A = this chain, B = another copy of it.
């Protein structure tokens, strides 16, 4: 926990892609009590034809630097924790060179029994 999918335009240097993944994970740990050793990221880099975004959404400009983050995590975080998570993720991603306006985050919440983290075991419910 959690499982993170990150989608972005291809072309960033490998070090930047790594920094983006690190920032997303660190924000989850610092702001949403995710376990430090639970860093599972699936990153996909796309052609312009595959990653479509508007020039702006709700008045917030979007550039080709858009980073779309979808986190599958245990249900139950409060609204305050989620707000802190978004803010921390934006701060750390800005340090990694992503424009704050370009950061799109969504959360998929699932119950604890919906995970198996290895060995065919239901990890969190025995």
Question: How far is the CB of A55 from the nearest CB of chain B, in Å?
Answer: 8
Instruction: Check: A54 CB closer than 8 A to any chain B CB.
Output: yes
Dominant SS at the A interface?
mixed
Question: How far is the CB of A121 from the nearest CB of chain B, in Å?
Answer: 7
Interface residue from B17, B101, B116 paired with A118 (Cβ < 8 Å): B101
- On whether the beta carbons of A57 and B35 are closer than 8 Å, the reply is yes
Check A57/B110 contact, CB under 8 A, given A42-B44, A42-B51, A52-B43: no
Interface residue from B42, B52, B125 paired with A50 (Cβ < 8 Å): B42
- On whether the beta carbons of A49 and B119 are closer than 8 Å, the reply is no
Nearest residue, chain B, Cβ from A14: B49
- On whether the beta carbons of B40 and A52 are closer than 8 Å, the reply is yes
Chain A, residues 30-64, CB within 8 Å of chain B (1/0): the string is 00000101111111111001111110111010100
Nearest residue, chain B, Cβ from A85: B116
Complex formed: what's the CA distance from A17 to B58 in Å? 26
- On whether the beta carbons of A108 and B110 are closer than 8 Å, the reply is yes
- On whether the beta carbons of A119 and B106 are closer than 8 Å, the reply is no
Check A104/B82 contact, CB under 8 A, given A41-B52, A50-B45, A57-B38: no
- On whether the beta carbons of B117 and A57 are closer than 8 Å, the reply is yes
